[in-house]
Structure 1
Amino acid sequence: MTKSTKQPGSAVPSRRLSRLWHLGRATTDLAAGVGVKGMYELARSRNSGEPARIQLSPEHTRRFTERLARMRGAVMKMGQLMSMEGSDIFTPEAAEIMSALRERAEPMPMSQLSQVLEREYGADWDKRFSRFEFKPIAAASIGQVHRAETRDGRRLALKIQFPGVRDSIDSDIDNLALLGQTFGMAPKGIDIKPFLEEARRQLHREADYDAEAEALERYRARLGDDPDFLVPAVHRDLTTRNVLAMDFVDGVPVDRLAGADYRRAARDRAATALMRLTLRELFEFGLVQTDPNFGNYLYDADSGRIALLDFGATHGVAPEHVAAFRRLALATIDGDRDGMREASVALGYMGADDPAEHIGTMLDLLQLASEPLSTDDHYDFGTSDLFERVYRQGRELFRSGAFSTAPAPETMFLHRKFMGSFMLSRRLRARVDLAAMVEAVIRPPAPAAAAA
Structure 2
Amino acid sequence: MTQTSDARGTAVPSKRLSRLWHLGRATTDLAAGIGFTGLVDMARTRGGGQPARIQLSPEHTRRFTDRLAKMRGAVMKMGQLMSMDGSDIFTPEAAEIMASLRDRAEPMPLSQLAQVLEREYGSGWDKGFKRFDFTPIASASIGQVHRAETKDGRKLALKIQFPGVRDSIDSDIDNLAFLGRSLGMAPKGIDIDPFLEEARRQLHREADYAAEADAMDAYRERIGNDEALFIPGVHRDLTTQSILAMDFAEGVPIDHLAGPDYRRAERDRAATLLMRLTLRELFELGLVQTDPNFGNYLYEASNGRIVLLDFGATKPVSAKLVEQYRALAQSALAKDRGAMRSACVALGYVGENDPSEHVDAMVDLLEMAAEPLKHPGHYDFGTSNLFERVYHSGRELFHSGAFTTAPAPDTMFLHRKFMGSFMLSRRLRARVDLAEMARTCI
| TM-score class, shorter | over 0.9
Separation in structure 2 between the aligned mates of residue 348 and residue 227 of structure 1, nearest angstrom: 38
Q: How far has the Cα of 1:360 moved from its partner?
A: 2.1
Per the alignment, in what secondary structure is the counterpart of residue 156 of structure 1?
strand
Residue correspondence of structure 1 range 171-210 to structure 2 within 5 A: 171-210=171-210
Separation in structure 2 between the aligned mates of residue 365 and residue 298 of structure 1, nearest angstrom: 33
Determine the structure 1 residue equivalent to 2:328.
328
Determine the structure 1 residue equivalent to 2:146.
146
Determine the structure 1 residue equivalent to 2:348.
348
For 1:237, the aligned partner's letter is: D
Per the alignment, in what secondary structure is the counterpart of residue 307 of structure 1?
strand
For 1:331, the aligned partner's letter is: S
Q: How far has the Cα of 1:276 moved from its partner?
A: 0.3
- Greater shift after overlay, 85-94 or 306-315? 85-94
Residue correspondence of structure 1 range 209-224 to structure 2 within 5 A: 209-224=209-224
In the TM superposition, what whole-angstrom CA distance separates every residue of 1:102-156 from its partner, at most 9, and x where no partner exists?
A: 1110000001100000000000100111000000000001000000001111110
Per the alignment, in what secondary structure is the counterpart of residue 34 of structure 1?
helix
Determine the structure 2 residue equivalent to 1:427.
427
Determine the structure 1 residue equivalent to 2:57.
57
Separation in structure 1 between the aligned mates of residue 361 and residue 64 of structure 2, nearest angstrom: 39
Separation in structure 2 between the aligned mates of residue 34 and residue 86 of structure 1, nearest angstrom: 18
In the TM superposition, what whole-angstrom CA distance separates every residue of 1:262-319 from its partner, at most 9, and x where no partner exists?
A: 1110000000000000000001110000101001010000010000000000000000
Question: Could you tell me the percent identity over the aligned residues?
Answer: 74
Determine the structure 1 residue equivalent to 2:393.
393
CA contact (8 A) 1:41 1:54 kept: no
Separation in structure 1 between the aligned mates of residue 318 and residue 228 of structure 2, nearest angstrom: 27
CA contact (8 A) 2:51 2:399 kept: no
Separation in structure 2 between the aligned mates of residue 14 and residue 376 of structure 1, nearest angstrom: 52
Per the alignment, in what secondary structure is the counterpart of residue 383 of structure 1?
coil
For 1:224, the aligned partner's letter is: G
Separation in structure 2 between the aligned mates of residue 177 and residue 373 of structure 1, nearest angstrom: 35
CA contact (8 A) 1:268 1:431 kept: yes
Separation in structure 2 between the aligned mates of residue 197 and residue 128 of structure 1, nearest angstrom: 40
Per the alignment, in what secondary structure is the counterpart of residue 42 of structure 2?
helix
TM-score normalised by L of structure 1: 0.96
Cα pair distance change 1:404/1:182, threshold 3 Å: closer
Determine the structure 2 residue equivalent to 1:447.
none
- Greater shift after overlay, 143-152 or 88-97? 88-97
Separation in structure 2 between the aligned mates of residue 183 and residue 353 of structure 1, nearest angstrom: 31
Q: How far has the Cα of 1:169 moved from its partner?
A: 0.4
Q: How far has the Cα of 1:191 moved from its partner?
A: 3.0
Cα pair distance change 1:434/1:230, threshold 3 Å: same
CA contact (8 A) 1:7 1:109 kept: yes
CA contact (8 A) 1:53 1:91 kept: no
Per the alignment, in what secondary structure is the counterpart of residue 382 of structure 2?
helix
Separation in structure 2 between the aligned mates of residue 368 and residue 80 of structure 1, nearest angstrom: 26
Separation in structure 1 between the aligned mates of residue 77 and residue 281 of structure 2, nearest angstrom: 23
Q: How far has the Cα of 1:162 moved from its partner?
A: 0.4
Per the alignment, in what secondary structure is the counterpart of residue 240 of structure 2?
coil
Q: How far has the Cα of 1:370 moved from its partner?
A: 1.1
Separation in structure 2 between the aligned mates of residue 431 and residue 198 of structure 1, nearest angstrom: 34
- Greater shift after overlay, 110-119 or 185-194? 185-194
Q: How far has the Cα of 1:429 moved from its partner?
A: 0.6
Per the alignment, in what secondary structure is the counterpart of residue 436 of structure 1?
helix
Q: How far has the Cα of 1:439 moved from its partner?
A: 0.5
CA contact (8 A) 1:215 1:312 kept: yes
Determine the structure 2 residue equivalent to 1:415.
415
CA contact (8 A) 2:187 2:401 kept: no
CA contact (8 A) 2:50 2:400 kept: no
Determine the structure 2 residue equivalent to 1:251.
251
- Uncovered stretches (5+) of structure 1, i.e. residues with no partner: 443-452
- Greater shift after overlay, 59-68 or 398-407? 398-407
Higher relative contact order by CA 8 Å / sep ≥ 6: 1 or 2? 2
Determine the structure 2 residue equivalent to 1:10.
10
- Greater shift after overlay, 66-75 or 83-92? 83-92
Separation in structure 2 between the aligned mates of residue 335 and residue 400 of structure 1, nearest angstrom: 26
CA contact (8 A) 1:52 1:88 kept: no
Determine the structure 2 residue equivalent to 1:132.
132
Determine the structure 1 residue equivalent to 2:45.
45
Determine the structure 1 residue equivalent to 2:108.
108
How many residues get paired? Answer: 442
For 1:202, the aligned partner's letter is: Q
Separation in structure 2 between the aligned mates of residue 76 and residue 361 of structure 1, nearest angstrom: 34
Q: How far has the Cα of 1:182 moved from its partner?
A: 2.4
Determine the structure 1 residue equivalent to 2:76.
76
Per the alignment, in what secondary structure is the counterpart of residue 232 of structure 1?
coil
Separation in structure 1 between the aligned mates of residue 54 and residue 122 of structure 2, nearest angstrom: 49
CA contact (8 A) 1:42 1:185 kept: no
For 1:188, the aligned partner's letter is: K
CA contact (8 A) 2:72 2:105 kept: yes
Determine the structure 1 residue equivalent to 2:371.
371
Separation in structure 2 between the aligned mates of residue 334 and residue 258 of structure 1, nearest angstrom: 34
Per the alignment, in what secondary structure is the counterpart of residue 279 of structure 2?
helix
Separation in structure 2 between the aligned mates of residue 182 and residue 373 of structure 1, nearest angstrom: 39
CA contact (8 A) 1:139 1:145 kept: yes
Residue correspondence of structure 1 range 115-126 to structure 2 within 5 A: 115-126=115-126
Determine the structure 2 residue equivalent to 1:282.
282
Q: How far has the Cα of 1:85 moved from its partner?
A: 1.1
CA contact (8 A) 1:143 1:160 kept: yes
For 1:122, the aligned partner's letter is: G
Task: Kindly indicate whether residue 269 of structure 2 is the aligned counterpart of residue 269 of structure 1.
Answer: yes
- Greater shift after overlay, 364-373 or 215-224? 364-373
Separation in structure 2 between the aligned mates of residue 27 and residue 364 of structure 1, nearest angstrom: 37
Separation in structure 2 between the aligned mates of residue 100 and residue 374 of structure 1, nearest angstrom: 34
Separation in structure 2 between the aligned mates of residue 345 and residue 361 of structure 1, nearest angstrom: 13
Determine the structure 2 residue equivalent to 1:446.
none
Q: How far has the Cα of 1:65 moved from its partner?
A: 0.9
Per the alignment, in what secondary structure is the counterpart of residue 85 of structure 1?
coil
- Uncovered stretches (5+) of structure 2, i.e. residues with no partner: none
In the TM superposition, what whole-angstrom CA distance separates every residue of 1:325-370 from its partner, at most 9, and x where no partner exists?
A: 1111111111222222222211111122222232222222211111
Determine the structure 2 residue equivalent to 1:383.
383
Determine the structure 2 residue equivalent to 1:448.
none
Q: How far has the Cα of 1:86 moved from its partner?
A: 5.0
Q: How far has the Cα of 1:394 moved from its partner?
A: 1.8
TM-score normalised by L of structure 2: 0.98
Separation in structure 2 between the aligned mates of residue 59 and residue 35 of structure 1, nearest angstrom: 13
Separation in structure 1 between the aligned mates of residue 173 and residue 86 of structure 2, nearest angstrom: 18
Per the alignment, in what secondary structure is the counterpart of residue 310 of structure 1?
coil
